[in-house]
Amino acid sequence: MKILVVDDSKLARLFLIKTLKELEPGAEILEAENGLIAVELFKTEKPSAVFLDLTMPVMDGYEALKEIIKIDPNAQVVIVSADIQAQAQSTVLESGAKMMIPKPINSEKMLSILQQLSI
């Protein structure tokens, strides 16, 4: 299983990857530091799930989500963001994200996410 982790913060990516590896030791984890790289990786690597931040340089998560959903309308995209506004959540869910989780994420939350995703 391939999982794509997208965040401009190296430590935020590291934290997510560490949590993912604990729960899915066999997963191949791909990383991207902005939305543009994420979209390119999504096209070429076809990951089973994407963990996507919203506030990023170059291309933000809103735009990247739209591009990913254009490529695969059934993409399993989880938004992991510090933006906890209700409107941010409704926007990403309308754009095709499967769920939105506030940062920081812990093992318990991650387990629940992985159980809910169709991967």
Partner 1 sequence: MQQNGFTDDHLDMLRELMNIAMGNATASIADLLEAFGKMHIPQILISDMEGLASYIQQTISIDQRNYVTKQLFGGMFSGEFLFVISEESALHLGHHLYDVDNPSDGDILDAVIELTNILSATMISRLTEELNTKVQFFVPSTELINGNALISQEDIMNYHRIIIISTQMEFEHQNINGHIFILTKDGMIESLKALIDRKLEELYA
57 near partner 1, judged by CB under 8 A = yes
What is the rounded CA–CA span in Å between residue 38 and residue 50?
9
Q: How near is the Cβ of 117 to partner 1 at its closest, in Å?
A: 23
Q: Could you say which DSSP state residue 104 is in?
A: S
Nearest to 39 by CA among 66, 15, 20, 18: 66
Within positions 87 to 106, which residues make up the interface with partner 1, using CB under 8 A?
87-88, 102-104
Q: How far is CA 102 from the centre of its chain?
A: 12
Complex with partner 1: residue 55 or 95, whichever CB lies closer: 55
18 near partner 1, judged by CB under 8 A = yes
Judged by CB under 8 A, how many residues of this single chain contact partner 1?
23
